[in-house]
Amino acid sequence: MEVPGWLETLAERVARAPVPRRLRPPVSGGRPAAVLMLFGEGPSGPDVLLIQRSSRGRRHAGQPAFPGGGVDPEDGGPIAAALREAREETGLDPSGVHVVGTMPELYVSHSENRVTPVLGWWHTPCVVHAASPDEVESVERVPITELVDPANRLNLRTPSGYSSPAFRVRGLLVWGFTAGVLDGVLADSGFALPWDRSRIEDLPPDVVNLASR
């Protein structure tokens, strides 16, 4: 299946998009990392692959996320790292993925990771699952139509008082770095719908406890 036009356009836009101040990497320091933003075509139209990290994890425990992790020396770069991590975490067959492009490096201060999001088109989908139970609790293909549904959108406020976009989909509360990237990508893709940005909720206590590890 050919890469859809909307994804090619998205890749071009995000490649040159300015990095928000709070996500700009420092001049030095931080660990190189990569995540795979894998888009496919499911029964409900375009979708994106998300994982729920294990609640036993040391960092970002229990959080929904894109598959990904640190860039190892043998990877040779973020694209190979994103595909390798996705295979290890979800059982993904990388041969079924066409890499469309990458986003500028983003900095996650909580884990001190310099993250390169890699955009991929899942031209030959395969069965995916929690292939690494110590790291991943579940894997979900989330339809874009559900992500942009105004009923599933809100802002979450952390104990520090900072509010940022979030999503409630498929039993997942997607927030933080992943939700922020999704929010921007959905806008750049043209799929985003108007939603009530005055809807603000506090981050649930159980989520706060996991995030504070």
- Taking only the tens place, the pLDDT of each residue in 168-188 is 999 999 999 999 999 999 999
Give pLDDT tens digits for 35-89: 999 999 999 999 999 999 987 765 657 899 999 999 999 999 999 999 999 999 9
Give pLDDT tens digits for 143-172: 999 999 999 999 999 999 999 999 999 999
Q: State the Cα angle at 70 between 69 and 75, rounded to 5°.
A: 110
Tokens of 82: 């994103």
Mean pLDDT over 28-33 rounds to 95
DSSP summary character for residue 73? G
Residue range(s) defining the domain that contains residue 27: 5-211
Check residue 54 and give its pLDDT: 87
Check residue 208 and give its pLDDT: 75
Provide φ and ψ at 210, rounded to 5°: -70, -40
In the block, residue with structure tokens 């933080």? 176
CATH number for position 81 = 3.90.79.10
Check residue 65 and give its pLDDT: 96
Q: 81: exposed, middle or buried (C-beta count within 10 Å: 0-12, 13-18, 19+)?
A: buried
β-bridge partners, 156: 164, 201
Check residue 212 and give its pLDDT: 61
- How many domains does the chain divide into? 1
The pLDDT confidence band at residue 209, using thresholds 50, 70 and 90, is confident
- Give alpha helix (H) positions in the chain: 5-15, 78-90, 144-148, 176-189, 205-211
Provide φ and ψ at 28, rounded to 5°: -145, 165
Give pLDDT tens digits for 97-147: 999 999 999 999 888 999 999 999 999 999 999 999 889 999 999 999 999
